[in-house]
Structure 1
Protein backbone atom coordinates (compact mmCIF):
# COMPACT_ATOMS: atom_id res chain seq x y z
CA UNK A 1 0.00 0.00 0.00
CA UNK A 2 1.29 3.47 -0.90
CA UNK A 3 0.07 7.01 -1.33
CA UNK A 4 -1.17 7.98 -4.83
CA UNK A 5 1.32 9.88 -6.98
CA UNK A 6 0.29 12.83 -9.17
CA UNK A 7 2.28 15.38 -11.18
CA UNK A 8 2.19 19.14 -10.66
CA UNK A 9 1.00 21.02 -13.73
CA UNK A 10 0.78 24.60 -12.43
CA UNK A 11 1.94 26.56 -9.41
CA UNK A 12 -0.98 28.83 -8.47
CA UNK A 13 0.03 30.92 -5.47
CA UNK A 14 2.00 30.77 -2.21
CA UNK A 15 0.43 30.38 1.23
CA UNK A 16 2.46 32.66 3.44
CA UNK A 17 0.86 31.76 6.76
CA UNK A 18 3.59 29.27 7.66
CA UNK A 19 7.35 29.48 7.66
CA UNK A 20 7.74 26.65 5.14
CA UNK A 21 5.91 28.58 2.39
CA UNK A 22 3.60 25.86 1.02
CA UNK A 23 1.80 26.66 -2.20
CA UNK A 24 -1.47 25.96 -3.97
CA UNK A 25 -0.74 23.74 -6.96
CA UNK A 26 -2.80 22.04 -9.66
CA UNK A 27 -2.17 18.41 -10.54
CA UNK A 28 -2.50 16.30 -13.68
CA UNK A 29 -5.51 14.57 -12.08
CA UNK A 30 -7.35 17.95 -12.25
CA UNK A 31 -7.14 18.23 -8.47
CA UNK A 32 -6.00 21.26 -6.50
CA UNK A 33 -3.60 20.76 -3.61
CA UNK A 34 -1.61 22.49 -0.94
CA UNK A 35 1.91 21.40 -1.80
CA UNK A 36 4.49 21.01 0.97
CA UNK A 37 8.06 21.01 -0.26
CA UNK A 38 10.91 18.73 0.71
CA UNK A 39 13.27 21.65 -0.03
CA UNK A 40 11.68 23.94 2.59
CA UNK A 41 13.60 24.96 5.71
CA UNK A 42 12.16 22.16 7.85
CA UNK A 43 13.28 19.58 5.30
CA UNK A 44 11.72 16.22 4.47
CA UNK A 45 11.29 15.20 8.12
CA UNK A 46 8.35 17.58 8.41
CA UNK A 47 6.76 15.71 5.51
CA UNK A 48 7.50 12.39 7.20
CA UNK A 49 5.62 13.59 10.29
CA UNK A 50 2.75 14.84 8.10
CA UNK A 51 2.30 11.39 6.59
CA UNK A 52 2.73 9.25 9.71
CA UNK A 53 0.56 11.43 11.95
CA UNK A 54 -2.03 12.41 9.34
CA UNK A 55 -2.59 8.86 8.16
CA UNK A 56 -2.66 7.51 11.71
CA UNK A 57 -5.30 10.04 12.69
CA UNK A 58 -7.34 9.22 9.58
CA UNK A 59 -7.32 5.51 10.37
CA UNK A 60 -8.54 6.29 13.86
CA UNK A 61 -11.61 8.06 12.52
CA UNK A 62 -10.57 11.72 12.39
CA UNK A 63 -10.94 13.90 9.30
CA UNK A 64 -7.64 14.69 7.59
CA UNK A 65 -7.48 16.00 3.99
CA UNK A 66 -6.34 13.31 1.57
CA UNK A 67 -2.57 13.08 1.18
CA UNK A 68 -0.82 12.30 -2.09
CA UNK A 69 2.74 12.43 -3.36
CA UNK A 70 3.39 14.95 -6.11
CA UNK A 71 6.18 15.10 -8.67
CA UNK A 72 7.42 18.63 -9.29
CA UNK A 73 9.23 19.45 -12.55
CA UNK A 74 11.97 22.08 -12.05
CA UNK A 75 10.71 23.85 -15.17
CA UNK A 76 7.72 25.04 -13.12
CA UNK A 77 10.14 26.77 -10.76
CA UNK A 78 12.10 28.46 -13.54
CA UNK A 79 9.01 30.32 -14.71
CA UNK A 80 8.22 31.72 -11.23
CA UNK A 81 9.04 35.48 -11.01
CA UNK A 82 9.35 35.61 -7.19
CA UNK A 83 12.99 34.79 -6.43
CA UNK A 84 12.34 33.22 -3.04
CA UNK A 85 9.60 30.97 -4.38
CA UNK A 86 11.61 30.12 -7.48
CA UNK A 87 14.52 28.91 -5.37
CA UNK A 88 12.18 26.84 -3.21
CA UNK A 89 10.60 25.20 -6.25
CA UNK A 90 13.99 24.45 -7.79
CA UNK A 91 15.29 22.94 -4.53
CA UNK A 92 12.15 20.83 -4.33
CA UNK A 93 12.27 19.23 -7.76
CA UNK A 94 11.09 15.65 -7.52
CA UNK A 95 8.74 14.20 -4.95
CA UNK A 96 6.78 16.41 -2.52
CA UNK A 97 3.67 16.08 -0.36
CA UNK A 98 0.29 17.20 -1.72
CA UNK A 99 -2.60 17.85 0.67
CA UNK A 100 -6.10 18.03 -0.78
CA UNK A 101 -7.22 21.65 -0.99
CA UNK A 102 -10.55 22.28 0.76
CA UNK A 103 -12.15 25.19 -1.14
CA UNK A 104 -14.19 27.51 1.03
CA UNK A 105 -12.87 26.11 4.30
CA UNK A 106 -12.05 28.47 7.16
CA UNK A 107 -10.06 28.35 10.36
CA UNK A 108 -11.68 26.87 13.44
CA UNK A 109 -12.55 29.52 16.04
CA UNK A 110 -14.33 27.42 18.64
CA UNK A 111 -17.84 27.96 17.36
CA UNK A 112 -18.69 26.53 13.94
CA UNK A 113 -17.81 22.87 13.47
CA UNK A 114 -17.12 22.27 17.14
CA UNK A 115 -16.85 18.51 17.71
CA UNK A 116 -18.42 16.62 20.59
CA UNK A 117 -16.47 16.21 23.81
CA UNK A 118 -15.38 12.66 23.03
CA UNK A 119 -13.90 13.71 19.69
CA UNK A 120 -12.12 16.64 21.34
CA UNK A 121 -10.68 14.23 23.92
CA UNK A 122 -9.48 11.88 21.20
CA UNK A 123 -7.73 14.71 19.36
CA UNK A 124 -6.04 15.83 22.57
CA UNK A 125 -4.97 12.24 23.37
CA UNK A 126 -3.52 11.72 19.91
CA UNK A 127 -1.72 15.06 19.85
CA UNK A 128 -0.16 14.17 23.19
CA UNK A 129 0.82 10.74 21.91
CA UNK A 130 2.67 12.08 18.85
CA UNK A 131 3.97 15.14 20.75
CA UNK A 132 2.21 17.60 18.45
CA UNK A 133 3.09 21.05 19.80
CA UNK A 134 1.14 22.91 17.12
CA UNK A 135 -2.54 22.89 18.12
CA UNK A 136 -2.87 26.06 20.16
CA UNK A 137 -5.31 28.93 19.71
CA UNK A 138 -2.44 30.88 18.15
CA UNK A 139 -2.32 28.28 15.41
CA UNK A 140 -5.05 25.63 15.80
CA UNK A 141 -4.31 23.83 12.52
CA UNK A 142 -8.00 23.00 12.32
CA UNK A 143 -10.29 23.84 9.41
CA UNK A 144 -14.08 23.83 9.15
CA UNK A 145 -15.31 22.52 5.82
CA UNK A 146 -18.97 21.67 5.14
CA UNK A 147 -19.61 22.15 8.87
CA UNK A 148 -17.12 19.41 9.76
CA UNK A 149 -13.75 19.71 11.53
CA UNK A 150 -10.62 18.77 9.59
CA UNK A 151 -7.13 18.39 11.05
CA UNK A 152 -4.15 19.76 9.11
CA UNK A 153 -0.43 20.53 9.42
CA UNK A 154 1.24 17.84 11.52
CA UNK A 155 4.82 18.56 10.50
CA UNK A 156 5.76 19.77 14.00
CA UNK A 157 4.85 16.42 15.58
CA UNK A 158 7.30 13.53 16.18
CA UNK A 159 10.02 16.05 16.89
CA UNK A 160 12.15 13.32 18.45
CA UNK A 161 13.39 12.52 14.91
CA UNK A 162 15.25 15.81 14.48
CA UNK A 163 17.94 14.71 16.90
CA UNK A 164 16.75 11.13 17.38
CA UNK A 165 16.34 11.30 21.12
CA UNK A 166 16.22 7.87 22.66
CA UNK A 167 12.99 5.89 22.76
CA UNK A 168 13.26 5.85 26.56
CA UNK A 169 13.38 9.65 26.71
CA UNK A 170 10.48 10.02 24.29
CA UNK A 171 8.43 7.52 26.28
CA UNK A 172 8.63 9.67 29.39
CA UNK A 173 8.34 13.02 27.63
CA UNK A 174 5.52 14.97 29.29
CA UNK A 175 2.92 16.77 27.20
CA UNK A 176 1.82 20.26 28.19
CA UNK A 177 -1.89 20.42 27.37
CA UNK A 178 -2.36 23.90 28.83
CA UNK A 179 -1.84 25.50 25.42
CA UNK A 180 -4.00 23.03 23.49
CA UNK A 181 -7.20 24.10 21.75
CA UNK A 182 -9.13 21.37 23.58
CA UNK A 183 -7.45 21.65 26.96
CA UNK A 184 -10.86 22.09 28.63
CA UNK A 185 -11.67 18.41 28.03
CA UNK A 186 -8.44 17.09 29.56
CA UNK A 187 -10.42 15.38 32.34
CA UNK A 188 -12.25 13.37 29.65
CA UNK A 189 -9.08 12.07 28.02
CA UNK A 190 -8.58 9.07 30.35
CA UNK A 191 -12.02 7.80 29.30
CA UNK A 192 -10.84 7.36 25.67
CA UNK A 193 -7.36 6.11 26.59
CA UNK A 194 -8.01 2.37 26.54
CA UNK A 195 -9.91 2.50 23.24
CA UNK A 196 -7.23 4.47 21.41
CA UNK A 197 -4.32 2.56 22.89
CA UNK A 198 -5.88 -0.74 21.82
CA UNK A 199 -6.54 0.56 18.30
CA UNK A 200 -2.91 1.57 17.69
CA UNK A 201 -1.42 -1.84 16.97
CA UNK A 202 2.11 -2.53 15.71
CA UNK A 203 0.51 -3.50 12.41
CA UNK A 204 -1.25 -0.12 12.12
CA UNK A 205 1.92 1.79 12.96
CA UNK A 206 3.91 -0.28 10.47
CA UNK A 207 1.31 0.45 7.80
CA UNK A 208 1.40 4.24 8.16
CA UNK A 209 5.19 4.36 8.50
CA UNK A 210 5.47 2.34 5.28
CA UNK A 211 3.66 5.13 3.40
CA UNK A 212 6.71 7.41 3.74
CA UNK A 213 8.69 7.35 0.46
CA UNK A 214 12.23 6.03 0.65
CA UNK A 215 13.71 9.33 -0.55
CA UNK A 216 12.74 11.02 2.72
CA UNK A 217 13.86 8.42 5.23
CA UNK A 218 17.18 6.87 6.19
CA UNK A 219 17.80 3.15 6.25
CA UNK A 220 16.67 1.73 9.56
CA UNK A 221 14.56 4.77 10.47
CA UNK A 222 11.24 3.00 9.87
CA UNK A 223 12.14 0.62 12.68
CA UNK A 224 13.14 3.58 14.85
CA UNK A 225 9.79 5.31 14.34
CA UNK A 226 8.02 2.08 15.18
CA UNK A 227 10.13 1.58 18.28
CA UNK A 228 9.60 5.11 19.59
CA UNK A 229 5.84 5.12 19.02
CA UNK A 230 5.40 1.63 20.43
CA UNK A 231 7.37 2.49 23.56
CA UNK A 232 5.39 5.70 24.13
CA UNK A 233 2.17 3.76 23.78
CA UNK A 234 3.22 1.13 26.28
CA UNK A 235 3.80 3.63 29.12
CA UNK A 236 1.33 6.50 28.98
CA UNK A 237 1.54 7.67 32.58
CA UNK A 238 4.01 10.50 31.85
CA UNK A 239 2.12 12.18 29.02
CA UNK A 240 -1.58 11.28 29.30
CA UNK A 241 -3.61 14.51 29.72
CA UNK A 242 -5.94 14.24 32.68
CA UNK A 243 -3.79 11.58 34.33
CA UNK A 244 -3.69 7.84 33.87
CA UNK A 245 -6.64 5.75 34.93
Structure 2
Protein backbone atom coordinates (compact mmCIF):
# COMPACT_ATOMS: atom_id res chain seq x y z
CA UNK A 1 0.00 0.00 0.00
CA UNK A 2 1.46 3.36 -0.99
CA UNK A 3 2.16 5.85 1.82
CA UNK A 4 0.39 9.19 1.94
CA UNK A 5 2.01 12.03 0.03
CA UNK A 6 3.80 14.37 2.41
CA UNK A 7 2.13 17.77 2.80
CA UNK A 8 4.65 20.55 2.36
CA UNK A 9 4.64 23.82 4.32
CA UNK A 10 5.31 27.21 2.75
CA UNK A 11 5.57 30.77 3.99
CA UNK A 12 3.37 33.21 2.08
CA UNK A 13 5.50 36.14 0.92
CA UNK A 14 3.28 38.16 -1.42
CA UNK A 15 -0.42 38.74 -1.93
CA UNK A 16 -0.85 38.95 -5.72
CA UNK A 17 -4.54 39.34 -6.55
CA UNK A 18 -7.93 38.25 -5.22
CA UNK A 19 -9.89 35.49 -6.94
CA UNK A 20 -13.22 37.27 -6.83
CA UNK A 21 -15.16 34.30 -8.19
CA UNK A 22 -14.70 32.49 -4.88
CA UNK A 23 -17.25 33.12 -2.13
CA UNK A 24 -14.57 32.85 0.55
CA UNK A 25 -12.31 35.50 -1.02
CA UNK A 26 -9.40 33.24 -1.98
CA UNK A 27 -6.41 34.87 -3.61
CA UNK A 28 -3.41 34.19 -5.77
CA UNK A 29 -0.33 34.48 -3.59
CA UNK A 30 3.37 33.77 -3.90
CA UNK A 31 5.27 31.67 -1.37
CA UNK A 32 8.89 31.37 -0.33
CA UNK A 33 9.40 28.43 -2.70
CA UNK A 34 8.82 30.77 -5.67
CA UNK A 35 5.50 29.19 -6.73
CA UNK A 36 2.08 30.77 -7.02
CA UNK A 37 -0.83 29.33 -5.06
CA UNK A 38 -4.56 29.71 -4.78
CA UNK A 39 -4.68 30.62 -1.10
CA UNK A 40 -7.68 29.73 1.09
CA UNK A 41 -7.93 31.83 4.24
CA UNK A 42 -8.85 30.66 7.72
CA UNK A 43 -10.27 34.14 8.38
CA UNK A 44 -12.88 33.89 5.61
CA UNK A 45 -16.58 33.44 6.27
CA UNK A 46 -16.66 29.69 6.99
CA UNK A 47 -13.35 29.70 8.80
CA UNK A 48 -11.14 26.70 9.33
CA UNK A 49 -13.97 24.25 8.63
CA UNK A 50 -13.78 25.19 4.95
CA UNK A 51 -10.05 24.44 5.06
CA UNK A 52 -10.72 21.07 6.67
CA UNK A 53 -13.27 20.22 3.96
CA UNK A 54 -10.87 21.41 1.25
CA UNK A 55 -8.07 19.30 2.68
CA UNK A 56 -10.07 16.10 3.14
CA UNK A 57 -11.77 16.48 -0.25
CA UNK A 58 -8.51 17.09 -2.06
CA UNK A 59 -6.68 14.21 -0.44
CA UNK A 60 -9.57 11.78 -0.98
CA UNK A 61 -9.61 12.77 -4.66
CA UNK A 62 -5.87 12.16 -4.87
CA UNK A 63 -6.25 8.70 -3.34
CA UNK A 64 -8.84 7.94 -6.04
CA UNK A 65 -6.28 8.79 -8.74
CA UNK A 66 -8.01 12.02 -9.73
CA UNK A 67 -6.00 15.11 -10.58
CA UNK A 68 -5.96 17.74 -7.83
CA UNK A 69 -3.50 20.64 -7.45
CA UNK A 70 -0.93 20.01 -4.74
CA UNK A 71 -2.19 21.08 -1.32
CA UNK A 72 0.24 22.83 1.02
CA UNK A 73 0.06 24.28 4.51
CA UNK A 74 0.49 28.03 4.06
CA UNK A 75 1.71 30.24 6.90
CA UNK A 76 0.89 33.94 7.23
CA UNK A 77 2.96 35.87 9.75
CA UNK A 78 1.84 38.97 11.62
CA UNK A 79 3.56 41.39 9.25
CA UNK A 80 1.95 39.99 6.13
CA UNK A 81 -0.52 42.30 4.40
CA UNK A 82 0.20 45.48 6.33
CA UNK A 83 0.73 47.38 3.10
CA UNK A 84 -2.46 46.06 1.48
CA UNK A 85 -4.60 49.04 0.49
CA UNK A 86 -7.97 47.30 0.36
CA UNK A 87 -9.45 47.46 3.86
CA UNK A 88 -11.58 44.32 3.39
CA UNK A 89 -8.57 42.31 2.24
CA UNK A 90 -6.40 43.70 5.04
CA UNK A 91 -8.99 42.59 7.60
CA UNK A 92 -9.06 39.14 6.01
CA UNK A 93 -5.29 38.84 6.17
CA UNK A 94 -5.19 39.93 9.80
CA UNK A 95 -7.83 37.34 10.68
CA UNK A 96 -5.86 34.66 8.84
CA UNK A 97 -2.53 34.88 10.63
CA UNK A 98 -1.18 31.42 11.28
CA UNK A 99 -1.83 28.26 9.31
CA UNK A 100 -3.89 28.41 6.13
CA UNK A 101 -4.28 26.12 3.10
CA UNK A 102 -3.15 26.69 -0.46
CA UNK A 103 -3.42 24.86 -3.78
CA UNK A 104 -0.74 25.02 -6.46
CA UNK A 105 -1.96 27.60 -8.98
CA UNK A 106 -2.66 26.12 -12.42
CA UNK A 107 -1.64 29.05 -14.58
CA UNK A 108 -3.55 29.20 -17.85
CA UNK A 109 -6.20 26.66 -16.84
CA UNK A 110 -9.73 27.18 -18.16
CA UNK A 111 -13.03 26.39 -16.51
CA UNK A 112 -14.45 23.00 -17.46
CA UNK A 113 -17.39 23.35 -19.84
CA UNK A 114 -19.59 20.22 -20.07
CA UNK A 115 -20.88 21.38 -23.45
CA UNK A 116 -17.35 21.37 -24.87
CA UNK A 117 -15.58 18.52 -23.07
CA UNK A 118 -16.99 15.07 -22.44
CA UNK A 119 -15.61 13.07 -19.53
CA UNK A 120 -15.14 9.36 -20.07
CA UNK A 121 -17.67 7.23 -18.13
CA UNK A 122 -15.37 5.70 -15.50
CA UNK A 123 -13.80 9.00 -14.52
CA UNK A 124 -17.21 10.67 -14.39
CA UNK A 125 -18.51 7.82 -12.24
CA UNK A 126 -15.57 8.06 -9.81
CA UNK A 127 -16.09 11.82 -9.42
CA UNK A 128 -19.83 11.41 -8.84
CA UNK A 129 -19.18 8.63 -6.30
CA UNK A 130 -16.61 10.73 -4.49
CA UNK A 131 -18.84 13.79 -4.28
CA UNK A 132 -21.73 11.72 -2.93
CA UNK A 133 -19.37 10.12 -0.41
CA UNK A 134 -18.13 13.54 0.75
CA UNK A 135 -21.60 15.17 0.52
CA UNK A 136 -20.17 17.76 -1.85
CA UNK A 137 -23.08 19.91 -3.04
CA UNK A 138 -20.92 22.15 -5.17
CA UNK A 139 -20.13 20.47 -8.49
CA UNK A 140 -23.09 21.50 -10.59
CA UNK A 141 -23.47 22.86 -14.11
CA UNK A 142 -23.64 26.32 -12.56
CA UNK A 143 -20.37 25.88 -10.71
CA UNK A 144 -18.40 22.85 -11.85
CA UNK A 145 -15.28 23.41 -9.71
CA UNK A 146 -13.25 21.67 -12.40
CA UNK A 147 -10.56 23.01 -14.69
CA UNK A 148 -8.98 21.91 -17.94
CA UNK A 149 -5.22 22.24 -17.79
CA UNK A 150 -2.92 20.81 -20.46
CA UNK A 151 -5.91 18.87 -21.84
CA UNK A 152 -6.50 17.11 -18.52
CA UNK A 153 -9.35 17.44 -16.03
CA UNK A 154 -8.43 18.84 -12.62
CA UNK A 155 -10.66 19.09 -9.56
CA UNK A 156 -10.61 22.18 -7.35
CA UNK A 157 -12.49 23.75 -4.45
CA UNK A 158 -13.82 21.10 -2.09
CA UNK A 159 -14.71 23.59 0.64
CA UNK A 160 -18.41 22.71 0.45
CA UNK A 161 -17.79 19.05 1.34
CA UNK A 162 -18.76 17.64 4.74
CA UNK A 163 -21.26 20.41 5.37
CA UNK A 164 -22.48 18.61 8.49
CA UNK A 165 -19.69 20.33 10.41
CA UNK A 166 -21.49 23.67 10.16
CA UNK A 167 -24.23 22.08 12.26
CA UNK A 168 -21.93 19.90 14.35
CA UNK A 169 -24.52 18.09 16.45
CA UNK A 170 -26.16 16.72 13.29
CA UNK A 171 -23.23 14.53 12.29
CA UNK A 172 -24.74 11.14 13.29
CA UNK A 173 -27.78 11.89 11.12
CA UNK A 174 -25.88 13.45 8.22
CA UNK A 175 -23.44 10.54 8.24
CA UNK A 176 -26.27 8.30 7.01
CA UNK A 177 -27.55 10.75 4.40
CA UNK A 178 -28.45 9.28 1.02
CA UNK A 179 -27.39 12.68 -0.39
CA UNK A 180 -30.28 13.52 -2.74
CA UNK A 181 -28.39 16.61 -4.01
CA UNK A 182 -26.36 14.27 -6.22
CA UNK A 183 -29.17 14.67 -8.77
CA UNK A 184 -27.70 18.09 -9.63
CA UNK A 185 -24.17 16.82 -10.29
CA UNK A 186 -22.74 18.11 -13.57
CA UNK A 187 -21.33 14.69 -14.54
CA UNK A 188 -24.22 12.48 -13.45
CA UNK A 189 -25.41 11.60 -16.95
CA UNK A 190 -21.88 10.65 -18.04
CA UNK A 191 -21.51 8.43 -14.95
CA UNK A 192 -22.69 5.17 -16.50
CA UNK A 193 -20.31 2.96 -14.49
CA UNK A 194 -21.30 3.84 -10.94
CA UNK A 195 -21.30 0.26 -9.66
CA UNK A 196 -17.84 -0.32 -11.08
CA UNK A 197 -16.70 3.01 -9.61
CA UNK A 198 -18.01 1.93 -6.20
CA UNK A 199 -15.82 -1.18 -6.29
CA UNK A 200 -12.80 0.77 -7.54
CA UNK A 201 -13.09 3.54 -4.96
CA UNK A 202 -13.55 1.14 -2.07
CA UNK A 203 -10.49 -0.82 -3.17
CA UNK A 204 -8.35 2.33 -2.87
CA UNK A 205 -10.00 4.32 -0.11
CA UNK A 206 -9.45 1.95 2.78
CA UNK A 207 -10.05 2.55 6.47
CA UNK A 208 -6.31 2.98 6.89
CA UNK A 209 -6.20 5.66 4.19
CA UNK A 210 -9.07 7.56 5.80
CA UNK A 211 -7.24 7.41 9.10
CA UNK A 212 -4.05 8.74 7.48
CA UNK A 213 -5.89 11.63 5.79
CA UNK A 214 -7.72 12.70 8.93
CA UNK A 215 -4.54 12.44 11.00
CA UNK A 216 -2.86 14.97 8.69
CA UNK A 217 -5.32 17.70 9.71
CA UNK A 218 -3.46 20.30 11.79
CA UNK A 219 -4.51 20.42 15.44
CA UNK A 220 -4.95 24.18 15.32
CA UNK A 221 -7.72 23.81 12.73
CA UNK A 222 -9.67 21.39 14.91
CA UNK A 223 -10.10 23.30 18.14
CA UNK A 224 -13.83 23.62 17.60
CA UNK A 225 -16.00 25.07 20.30
CA UNK A 226 -18.55 22.32 19.56
CA UNK A 227 -15.92 19.72 20.47
CA UNK A 228 -14.92 21.59 23.66
CA UNK A 229 -11.71 22.64 21.95
CA UNK A 230 -10.47 19.05 21.79
CA UNK A 231 -8.82 18.43 18.38
CA UNK A 232 -8.79 14.67 18.83
CA UNK A 233 -12.53 14.61 19.55
CA UNK A 234 -13.17 16.58 16.36
CA UNK A 235 -10.81 14.33 14.41
CA UNK A 236 -12.68 11.25 15.62
CA UNK A 237 -15.99 12.65 14.36
CA UNK A 238 -14.57 13.11 10.85
CA UNK A 239 -13.13 9.61 10.90
CA UNK A 240 -16.38 8.02 12.05
CA UNK A 241 -18.36 10.02 9.48
CA UNK A 242 -16.12 8.97 6.58
CA UNK A 243 -15.72 5.39 7.75
CA UNK A 244 -19.45 4.80 7.98
CA UNK A 245 -20.08 6.25 4.52
CA UNK A 246 -17.33 4.14 3.01
CA UNK A 247 -18.64 0.95 4.58
CA UNK A 248 -22.25 1.78 3.66
CA UNK A 249 -21.69 3.32 0.24
CA UNK A 250 -24.82 1.58 -1.09
CA UNK A 251 -26.78 4.32 0.74
CA UNK A 252 -25.64 7.08 -1.61
CA UNK A 253 -24.86 4.81 -4.56
CA UNK A 254 -28.53 3.88 -4.90
CA UNK A 255 -29.49 7.56 -4.80
CA UNK A 256 -27.07 8.34 -7.62
CA UNK A 257 -28.21 5.38 -9.70
CA UNK A 258 -31.87 6.32 -9.24
CA UNK A 259 -31.23 9.98 -10.05
CA UNK A 260 -29.33 9.04 -13.17
CA UNK A 261 -32.08 6.67 -14.33
CA UNK A 262 -34.70 9.36 -13.73
CA UNK A 263 -32.76 11.84 -15.83
CA UNK A 264 -32.22 9.63 -18.89
Contact 1:186-1:242 within 8 A present in 2 as well = no
Contact 1:68-1:97 within 8 A present in 2 as well = yes
Contact 1:121-1:192 within 8 A present in 2 as well = yes
SS in 2 for 1:95: strand
Give 1:110's match in structure 2, choosing from 90, 114, 119.
114
Which 5+ residue runs of structure 2 have no aligned equivalent?
224-230, 259-264
Distance 2:153 2:117 in 1: 5
Q: Deviations over 1:188-227 (max 9, x none)?
A: 2122212212322111001111221111013211111111
Contact 1:132-1:157 within 8 A present in 2 as well = yes
Q: Does 1:242 align with 2:246?
A: no
Distance 1:192 1:235 in 2: 14
Which sits farther off after the overlay, 124-133 or 74-83? 74-83
Distance 1:175 1:206 in 2: 27
Which sits farther off after the overlay, 139-148 or 72-81? 72-81
Match of 2:197 in 1: 192
Q: Does 1:214 align with 2:214?
A: no
Query: Greater helix share, 1 or 2?
Result: 2
Contact 1:142-1:152 within 8 A present in 2 as well = yes
How far does residue 111 in structure 1 lie from its aligned partner after superposition? 5.2
How far does residue 82 in structure 1 lie from its aligned partner after superposition? 0.4
How far does residue 187 in structure 1 lie from its aligned partner after superposition? 4.1
Q: Deviations over 1:168-193 (max 9, x none)?
A: 54223333222111010344212221
Distance 2:174 2:210 in 1: 20
Give 1:135's match in structure 2, choosing from 132, 136, 139.
139
Which 5+ residue runs of structure 1 have no aligned equivalent?
none
Q: Deviations over 1:93-125 (max 9, x none)?
A: 111111100010010002555431100010000
SS in 2 for 1:150: strand
Match of 1:227 in 2: 240
SS in 1 for 2:57: helix
Distance 1:166 1:69 in 2: 26
Provide the TM-score with structure 1 as the length reference: 0.94
Post-superposition, which runs of at least 4 consecutive aligned residues in structure 1 deviate over 6 A? none
Match of 1:181 in 2: 186
Indicate the RMSD between aligned Cα atoms, in angstroms. 1.6
Residues 170, 103 of structure 1: alpha-carbon distance in 2 compared, 3 angstrom cutoff: same
Q: Does 1:122 align with 2:126?
A: yes
SS in 1 for 2:136: coil
Contact 1:143-1:151 within 8 A present in 2 as well = yes
Alignment length, in residue pairs? Answer: 243
Residues 172, 14 of structure 1: alpha-carbon distance in 2 compared, 3 angstrom cutoff: closer
Matches within 5 A, 1:1-245: 2-110=6-114, 114-164=118-168, 165-218=170-223, 219=231, 220-240=233-253, 241-242=256-257
Distance 2:90 2:179 in 1: 40
